[in-house]
Amino acid sequence: MLHHRSLMQLHDSLKSGEFSSLELTTHYLNRIKQLDGTLNSIITVSEDIALEQAKEADQRIADGKASALTGLPILHKDIFCTKGIKTSCGSRMLDNFVSPYNAFVVQQCQEAGMVMLGKSNMDEFAMGSSNENSFYGPVHNPWALNNIPGGSSGGSAAAVAARLTPIATGTDTGGSIRQPAALCGITGLKPSYGRVSRYGMIAYASSLDQAGPMAQSAEDCAMLLQTMAGHDPRDSTCSKQKVPDYLASLGESIKGKRIGLPKEYFSEHLDSHIADTIHAVAKQLESLGATLHEVSLPNTCIAPPAYYVLAPAECSANLARFDGVRFGYRCEDPKDLNDLYERSRSEGFGPEVKRRILTGTYVLSSGYYDAYYLKAQAIKQSITEGFLSVFNNNIDCLLTPTAPSTAFPLGNKVDDPIAMYLSDIYTIAVNLAGLPALSMPAGFDHAGLPIGAQLIGPHWSEAMLLNVAHQYQKTTDWHQQIPDFADSINT
């Protein structure tokens, strides 16, 4: 079946003429029609645009002008602006917003000849760890339909896992690519901060947000990252660092790689089965020639409180633009300007977004700025220095769990925000330090739910992380496992 194939395999088949991009696109559109009513992983299906782009891709292939990604389908997280198509950010506030331009990531994919199937569901304004905060309803995990897929890129993760698309884009502010990738049994990469332009990506926390690929394997992620990465003068935080050939380095041996296991990541918060799984990953990497070393990152435990001061502070500032005046949701019959502001925002934003705006406004207010915001910035710096100290001590990358548990039931933590926030306990520190990190499938728990292993590297080490993950995936088949739900129809 076509949807069982990896992105690279689909590329090879298109190149050989086994099938056309139009046939491939139609196959995935049919799967979306038949399966996504249950998953709710997609907000907008852009069928007409996809079919037109597929025809154009077939012509490019016929003319010998195709790139590695030409004709391959993709879903974009609904946080990326797409010209002529609704960009909602999972919020009522932007339910009627149609962007007049494309985000950098979307533009790069279109120029490569990719086919956009649509826009994936997400936690509202990327605020959440379960994808239960979307205005369009929760996304369901294809491995267990009553469980969460993770968030905020849960729609992208669920769609890839259910093979409604071979690849998707996501964004990661505190773990929003890696955590849903782990919970849905796929591979997800959060690049170094500045590796991928944020132009046209609706901001949550500007100093932490980063776009990245979500796919079946490290090889597939490398293919998309090659197109996503690069300098963009429209984003002042986008690096001019040279983009390496990510695919070329995948075949390198990892013999001699020094892999650190931070003892703080194997605490009482971690499910014992997950801990055993990560140690099994370590042993597998060791059998491939890597060496294992226990390391310490003592400030890891204070990353969540620092993050939940800094991220809401930035969200409070970024979301001030949504006021009912220029675009987006506007309340009916406002009495005056203040009423327009108050009701448009209170009716347009959901509970979690309101909670974070209020938290952010509080920590930035007079009398609390020094006590909270500046202290959190100091903690952020100390966390960064802790990572750099480990890497400067001849450690090539770190191996950790991605999440403290597997996917939990929908509604299980909705009334306990602190418990929900701790779902990101192993991913948040990476964002505070601006480092790259990757989550890859590593096994299943006793209930048959996926477990993810996280690789963390120094700045600009995406190629090395992809190489380590690829070598692991060459000797295991966890990334090839498909939920029964994905094959519940004949296509």
Active-site positions?
77, 152, 176
Q: How many CB atoms lie within 10 A of CB 416?
A: 10
Q: At what angle do helices 21-39 and 154-161 cross, to 10 degrees?
A: 120
DSSP label at residue 193: T
Residue 63: partners with Cβ closer than 8 Å, 6 or more residues away: none
Is the peptide bond prior to 152 cis by the omega test (within 30 degrees of 0)? yes
Strand-pair partners of 42: 120
E strands present in 141-265: 167-171, 187-190, 211-215, 258-262
Burial level of 231, CB count in 10 A (0-12/13-18/19+)?
middle
Classify strands 450-456 and 397-401 as parallel, antiparallel or unpaired. antiparallel
Determine if residue 152 is left, alpha or beta; phi over 0 gives left, psi from -120 to 50 gives alpha, anything else beta. alpha
Question: Is 85 strand, coil or helix?
Answer: strand
477 alpha-carbon distance from chain centroid:
22
DSSP label at residue 407: P
E strands present in 121-257: 167-171, 187-190, 211-215
Number of H helices, E strands in the chain: 15, 11
Sheet with 291-295, side-by-side order of all strands: 42-45, 115-120, 73-77, 167-171, 211-215, 187-190, 437-444, 450-456, 397-401, 258-262, 291-295
